[in-house]
């Protein structure tokens, strides 16, 4: 198998030679931000939204200028170096190497890594990257409030999602349903949650500790175009279990139906399929 090529601080290097220092704050403290996205036909999907969120996360971490001006060029160069048209992409920005104290220095020389791996073609007539509809289980791990950990960005502090997935061991579930401190549904471990009832979409409000997912935003727009009302509110796991349909969204899965929640069958349906088709059509326009 050909060694993939990654971008490390702007240099294209084989994966087997890619290195980040052990005293990098991303490794030492989880002091960094990241974005995952997909490329279709060699074009990063919704790049502007992903870059904006990455920059916003870095700003929340006190390093507002950490995202390099040529981030898009680095992503495109990584795709080209691997000869990838359709791919999974991850761009990581850490505070870099600083003196070994917890308090970060104001001047930042960030570490920036772009990782890529091939994914099947998206768009009309494509096969999803997920094997089957999701099997959700409500876990005890809670999504921390925004004043504990920024909810509107993706940081290297991903232990909440890791611990949620650990709870799934020994169960028949493959994705965790997380609640906030009050018990309301926040999100799944790596995705946003939608429920459909009486032809209306329901999804947890961004007023809670909910990641403003890029695919979530796209689906909300597509729902409006298709005439499906969308309500952003406060919901319980029971609301999801009793929905007519339920699905998850993220950049990798796109729209993934939910087979069951806590053992209760839910499934996708006509609304889920319609939105998945509309997303496919939007992706197809990139080819």
**Residue 228: helix, strand or coil by DSSP?**
coil
pLDDT tens-digit map of 154-212: 999 999 999 999 999 999 999 999 999 999 999 999 999 999 999 999 999 999 999 99
Averaged confidence pLDDT in the chain: 96
Q: List, in sequence order, every beta strand (DSSP E) within the chain.
A: 5-8, 11-14, 32-40, 43-44, 87-94, 111-118, 134-142, 175-179, 185-188, 192-197, 200-204, 230-233, 245-250, 254-261, 264-265
CA atoms of 59 and 8, how far apart (whole Å)? 21
Radius of gyration of the chain (CA): 19
Domains of the chain, each with CATH number or no CATH: 5-118 (3.30.470.10), 134-284 (3.20.10.10)
Count the helix, strand and coil residues of the chain and give each as a percent rounded to the nearest 5: 25, 30, 45
pLDDT tens-digit map of 101-134: 899 999 999 999 999 999 999 999 999 999 999 9
Is residue 33 a contact partner of residue 54, using CB atoms and an 8 Å limit? yes
Q: Is the pLDDT of residue 1 over 70?
A: no
Is residue 122 a contact partner of residue 38, using CB atoms and an 8 Å limit? yes
pLDDT of residue 2: 79
pTM of structure: 0.96
**pLDDT (average), residues 52-69:** 97
Is residue 10 a contact partner of residue 113, using CB atoms and an 8 Å limit? no
CB 224: neighbour CB atoms within 10 A? 12
């Amino acid at each position: 198998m050909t060694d993939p090529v990654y971008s490390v601080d702007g240099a294209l290097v084989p994966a087997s030679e890619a290195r980040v220092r052990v005293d990098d704050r991303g490794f030492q403290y989880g002091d960094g931000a990241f974005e995952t996205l997909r490329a279709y036909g060699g074009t990063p999907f919704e790049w502007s939204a992903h870059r904006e969120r990455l920059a916003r996360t870095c700003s929340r971490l006190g390093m507002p200028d950490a995202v390099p001006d040529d981030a898009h060029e680095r992503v495109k160069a990584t795709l080209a170096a691997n000869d990838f048209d359709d791919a999974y992409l991850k761009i990581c920005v850490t505070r870099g190497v600083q003196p070994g104290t917890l308090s970060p220095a104001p001047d930042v020389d960030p570490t920036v890594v772009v990782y890529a791996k091939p994914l099947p073609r998206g768009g009309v007539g494509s096969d999803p990257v997920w094997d089957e509809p999701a099997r959700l289980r409500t876990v005890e791990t809670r999504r921390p409030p925004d004043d504990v950990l920024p909810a509107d960005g993706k940081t290297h502090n991903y232990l909440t999602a890791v611990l949620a997935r650990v709870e799934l061991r020994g169960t028949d579930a493959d994705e965790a349903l997380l609640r906030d401190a009050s018990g309301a549904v926040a999100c799944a471990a790596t995705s946003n949650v939608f429920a459909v009832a009486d032809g209306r979409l329901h999804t947890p409000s961004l007023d809670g500790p909910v990641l403003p997912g890029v695919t979530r935003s796209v689906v909300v727009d597509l729902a409006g175009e298709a005439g499906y009302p969308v309500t952003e509110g406060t919901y319980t796991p029971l609301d999801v279990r009793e929905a007519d349909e339920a699905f998850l969204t993220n950049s990798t899965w796109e729209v993934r139906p939910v087979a069951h929640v806590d053992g209760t069958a839910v499934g996708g349906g006509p609304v889920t399929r319609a939105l998945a088709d509309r997303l496919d059509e939007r992706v197809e326009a990139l080819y």
